[in-house]
Amino acid sequence: MKIVTVLGARPQFIKAAALSRELRKRHQEVLVHTGQHYDYGMSGVFFDSLEIPPPDVNLGVGSGNHGAQTAAMLAGIEEVLVKEKPDWMLIYGDTNSTLAGAVAASKLHVPVAHVEAGLRSFNRRMPEEVNRVVADHLSRLLLCPSQTAVDHLAAEGIRDDVHLVGDVMLDVLNWAKERAAPKSAQTLAQLGVKQGEYLLATIHRGENTDSPERLGAIVRALNALEETVLFPVHPRTRKAIAASGQQLGSHVRAIDPLGYFEMVTASAAARLILTDSGGLQKEAYWLGVPCVTMRDETEWVETVAAGWNTLTGADCDQIVQKVRHFVPPSARAALYGDGRCAARCATLLQ
Ligand code: UD1
User: How many angstroms is it from 154 CA to the middle of ligand 1?
Assistant: 30
Query: Which residue, judged by its Cα, is nearest atom 20 of ligand 1?
Result: 37
For the CA of 94, the nearest atom of ligand 1: 11
User: How many angstroms is it from 94 CA to the middle of ligand 1?
Assistant: 12
pLDDT, position 146: 98
pLDDT in tens, 137-146: 999 999 999 9
Query: Which residue, judged by its Cα, is nearest atom 3 of ligand 1?
Result: 95
pLDDT, position 218: 98
pLDDT, position 238: 98
Dihedral angle over CA of 156, 161, 165, 166, nearest 10: -10
Q: Known catalytic residues?
A: 204
pLDDT, position 196: 98
CA distance 294 to 276: 5
pLDDT, position 256: 98
Q: Is the pTM of this model over 0.85?
A: yes
How far, rounded to the nearest angstrom, does the alpha carbon of residue 166 sit from its chain's CA centroid? 15
pLDDT, position 188: 98
Q: Which residue type is seen at 101?
A: G
User: How many angstroms is it from 236 CA to the middle of ligand 1?
Assistant: 7
CA distance 157 to 6: 26
| Edge-to-edge order in the sheet of strand 2-7 | 57-58, 28-33, 2-7, 88-92, 112-115, 141-144, 162-164
pLDDT, position 170: 98
pLDDT, position 340: 97
Helix residue ranges per DSSP H, the chain: 10-23, 45-49, 66-84, 96-107, 127-138, 147-155, 168-180, 184-191, 206-209, 212-224, 235-244, 260-268, 278-287, 301-305, 316-325, 341-349
User: How many angstroms is it from 152 CA to the middle of ligand 1?
Assistant: 26
Which whole number is the average pLDDT over 295-317?
98
For the CA of 277, the nearest atom of ligand 1: 12
Pocket of ligand 1 (CB under 6 A): 9-11, 36-39, 42-43, 63, 94-96, 127-128, 204, 234-236, 239
pLDDT band for 198, please (50, 70, 90 cuts): very high
CA distance 37 to 34: 8
pLDDT in tens, 84-98: 999 999 999 999 999
CA distance 121 to 206: 14
The residues pairing with 7 across neighbouring beta strands, listed in sequence order, are 33
The residues pairing with 253 across neighbouring beta strands, listed in sequence order, are 230
The Cβ of residue 48 has, within 10 Å, a number of other Cβ atoms equal to 12
pLDDT band for 296, please (50, 70, 90 cuts): very high
Query: Which residue, judged by its Cα, is nearest atom 21 of ligand 1?
Result: 37
| Edge-to-edge order in the sheet of strand 291-293 | 252-255, 228-232, 198-202, 272-275, 291-293, 309-311
CA distance 264 to 234: 16
For the CA of 38, the nearest atom of ligand 1: 23
pLDDT, position 171: 97
pLDDT, position 214: 98
Helix residue ranges per DSSP H, 181-259: 184-191, 206-209, 212-224, 235-244
For the CA of 98, the nearest atom of ligand 1: 15
Query: Which residue, judged by its Cα, is nearest atom 29 of ligand 1?
Result: 236
pLDDT band for 291, please (50, 70, 90 cuts): very high
pLDDT, position 97: 98
pLDDT, position 266: 98
CA distance 315 to 276: 13
Dihedral angle over CA of 23, 29, 34, 36, nearest 10: 20
The packing angle between helices 212-224 and 235-244, to 10°, is: 90
Domains of the chain from N-terminus onward: 2-164 (3.40.50.2000), 175-325 (3.40.50.2000)
Query: Which residue, judged by its Cα, is nearest atom 26 of ligand 1?
Result: 236
pLDDT, position 99: 98
pLDDT, position 165: 98
The packing angle between helices 278-287 and 260-268, to 10°, is: 50
For the CA of 69, the nearest atom of ligand 1: 34
pLDDT in tens, 234-285: 999 999 999 999 999 999 999 999 999 999 999 999 999 999 999 999 999 9
Contact 23, 103 (CB under 8 A): no
Which whole number is the average pLDDT over 146-157?
98
pLDDT, position 293: 98
Query: Which residue, judged by its Cα, is nearest atom 16 of ligand 1?
Result: 235
Which whole number is the average pLDDT over 109-132?
97
Percent of the chain scoring above 70 in pLDDT: 100
User: How many angstroms is it from 297 CA to the middle of ligand 1?
Assistant: 20
The Cβ of residue 121 has, within 10 Å, a number of other Cβ atoms equal to 20
